[in-house]
Amino acid sequence: MYTQTNADSRQNLGPGAEPYQWQEKYTSSGPRKWLILGSVIGLLALIGIGVGVGVAVSHHSKSSSNISTNNPSASPANPTVVSQTNPNDPSTFVKDARLKQSFWGMAYTPEGSLLPNCGSTLPDVIQDIQLISQLTTRLRLYGSDCNQSALVLEAIKQTKVNMTVWLGNYALPNDGGVAYARQRDAIVQAIKTYGTDQIGGITVGNEFMLNYLTAAGATTPNGPVGNQGAQLLIANITDTVNTLKSLNLPKHIPVGNSDAGAYFNNLVLGAVEYGMANVHPWFGNVSIANAATWTYDFFETTDVQAAQALTNKPTMYIAETGWPSNSSDAGNMSNGPSTASLANLQLFLDSYVCQANQNGTGYFYFEAFDEVWKDQMYGGVEGHWGLFNTDKSFKNITIPTC
Ligand SMILES: *[C@@H]1O[C@H](CO)[C@@H](O)[C@H](O)[C@H]1NC(C)=O
Ligand SMILES: *[C@@H]1O[C@H](CO)[C@@H](O)[C@H](O)[C@H]1NC(C)=O
Ligand SMILES: *[C@@H]1O[C@H](CO)[C@@H](O)[C@H](O)[C@H]1NC(C)=O
Ligand SMILES: *[C@@H]1O[C@H](CO)[C@@H](O)[C@H](O)[C@H]1NC(C)=O
Ligand SMILES: *[C@@H]1O[C@H](CO)[C@@H](O)[C@H](O)[C@H]1NC(C)=O
Ligand SMILES: *[C@@H]1O[C@H](CO)[C@@H](O)[C@H](O)[C@H]1NC(C)=O
Ligand SMILES: *[C@@H]1O[C@H](CO)[C@@H](O)[C@H](O)[C@H]1NC(C)=O
Ligand SMILES: *[C@@H]1O[C@H](CO)[C@@H](O)[C@H](O)[C@H]1NC(C)=O
Ligand SMILES: *[C@@H]1O[C@H](CO)[C@@H](O)[C@H](O)[C@H]1NC(C)=O
């Protein structure tokens, strides 16, 4: 019921990061909200989840041991899920008739993108891209640690698929800018190696305002505490804009940010070309029957309208939306009227995907693969949002044809 963080945020908690106590807070007066104060166990950081008035937030990624390899002849963990007519040419992968390019975009973090362990492998990222490219032409990453930007761009190159990537910089407010600078430099290196053709944008900050406000015990993104946090994030956004300018790139790369749907600060939105909002009906306590419409309404009234009211009118996307297919314990199966099940995942796909495309919503579906580490760490529905199981086998669902 909470969402957590994930590797995404944990992975960027540098050694100087401040540990917090885990804390879960439910406020029933006023806007309902689940908050999880981030904590960190060791170097793991935490994440917050705001759910409620309509916000739910969540994001996730994967972790694994530090057996990083870029050896192209190595095998992915489960070699059976994709076959290639030429074993040495990843672009010759055989299409799976059950997969359709129906999704506007997909949220993705390669397994093993969590510091300090890292461990993602090029063969596995190539296989992920072979699968995801059959579902969408757009991908967003959350951060740039553990070489993930280069691995994904290399995988796109080798598979020769049509894929645009929004790279991510999971900047932290409390580390003196160490995580920010490390990822900025990794992004610059990836741009120098792979060019700009495949890059749709650079997202600076993920749930930065949610985490900042939560750590300060505040809830209002446009209040004084929110405006303080905004100045920190804007410094990093401005630095990325200036860094890109200094590279004299052949193509303009937009710089944006991503946050919980109810946690956008207007000063931050005024400094970006796009915003990505997490909008989760399951965490928002919405029944599957109302999920698609609720997602649309929440995003339009909270995020799109706020952006349109500003002079720079940043483009707004949904950073994450989806539905869990199961819970690891019966007690967390339902969040009020929202119930995790394979049947409800199918209903969400049937009621949301093509309709949102038609409505012109730019959304990154959450998510491609179930994540075992998240299940182990958090239980409940956390490890069960994928279209594929953790071994990358396809769940018993039907992708809608749009
Ligand atoms: C894991 O590998 C990364 C490089 O991919 C390295 O920066 C990190 O220090 C390694 N971690 C451990 C625990 O060996
Ligand atoms: C690649 O995908 C984009 C949408 O992301 C689409 O506009 C473009 O036509 C596609 N290109 C090809 C060659 O299919
Ligand atoms: C990052 O990945 C790219 C693409 O696989 C590879 O060429 C490069 O050596 C990797 N860098 C590190 C530090 O692992
Ligand atoms: C990035 O932001 C952090 C605070 O969130 C700040 O300490 C650091 O100086 C900033 N770095 C740059 C280059 O803007
Ligand atoms: C599409 O837009 C209509 C309003 O024009 C809304 O009622 C509906 O819920 C939207 N559907 C989705 C999936 O966004
Ligand atoms: C859902 O999770 C429970 C608990 O882990 C498990 O027993 C059950 O088999 C799972 N159901 C499906 C359809 O995977
Ligand atoms: C939900 O999952 C969490 C984490 O596994 C667990 O601590 C909690 O007891 C569960 N809640 C219920 C109502 O079962
Ligand atoms: C969801 O709604 C139900 C009532 O429909 C309520 O009992 C439950 O506490 C709510 N959960 C959250 C997280 O708001
Ligand atoms: C897959 O789901 C369908 C119903 O949607 C069901 O008839 C079928 O038995 C399921 N297959 C498996 C292997 O669970």
- Say how many C-beta atoms besides its own lie within 10 A of residue 336's C-beta: 12
Pocket of ligand 1 (CB under 6 A): 66, 68, 116-118, 146-147
Can you give the pLDDT at residue 380? 96
Please give the class, per CATH, of domain 6-378: alpha beta
Ligand nearest to C-alpha 112: 1
Which atom of ligand 2 has the smallest separation from the CA of 162?
1
Can you give the pLDDT at residue 374? 83
Indicate if ligand 5 lies below 6 Å from the C-beta of 292: yes
Can you give the pLDDT at residue 61? 35
Query: Which two structure tokens, joined as six digits, stand for 66?
Result: 């530090």
**325 alpha carbon to ligand 6 midpoint, in Å?**
9
How far is CA 50 from each of CA 57, 194, 275, 370, rounded to the nearest angstrom?
Answer: 6, 36, 17, 21
CA angle, 366 as apex, 363 and 371 as ends, to 5°? 160
Ligand nearest to C-alpha 298: 5
Indicate if ligand 6 lies below 6 Å from the C-beta of 189: no
Give the tens place of pLDDT for each residue, 70-129.
555 578 989 999 999 999 999 999 999 999 999 999 999 998 888 888 889 999 999 999
Residue 310 scores a pLDDT above 70 = yes
Give the list of residues 6+ apart from residue 51 with CB closer than 8 angstroms, or none.
1, 2, 3, 32, 33, 34, 57, 280, 283, 284, 285, 335
Can you give the pLDDT at residue 363? 98
Residue 58 scores a pLDDT above 90 = no
Give the list of residues 6+ apart from residue 105 with CB closer than 8 angstroms, or none.
136, 137, 138, 139, 140, 317, 362, 363, 364, 365
Per domain, the residue ranges of the chain are 6-378
Residue 56: band (very low, low, confident or very high) from pLDDT cuts 50, 70, 90? very low
d(CA 143, CA 202): 10
Give the tens place of pLDDT for each residue, 117-150.
888 999 999 999 999 999 999 999 999 999 999 9
Can you give the pLDDT at residue 273? 98
Query: Which two structure tokens, joined as six digits, stand for 381?
Result: 């529905």
Look at the block and give the residue holding tokens 């993705």: 108
Which atom of ligand 6 has the smallest separation from the CA of 341?
13
d(CA 62, CA 120): 9
Ligand nearest to C-alpha 113: 1
**115 alpha carbon to ligand 3 midpoint, in Å?**
16
Cis peptide before 300 (omega within 30 of 0): no
Please choose, from the candidates 146, 114, 107, 108, the residue with its C-alpha nearest in 3D space to the C-alpha of residue 46.
Answer: 114
35 versus 151: the higher-pLDDT residue is 151
Give the tens place of pLDDT for each residue, 335-347.
999 999 999 999 9
Residue nearest ligand 6's atom 12 by CA: 326
Parallel, antiparallel, or unpaired: how do β-strands 338-339 and 164-169 relate? unpaired
Can you give the pLDDT at residue 71? 52
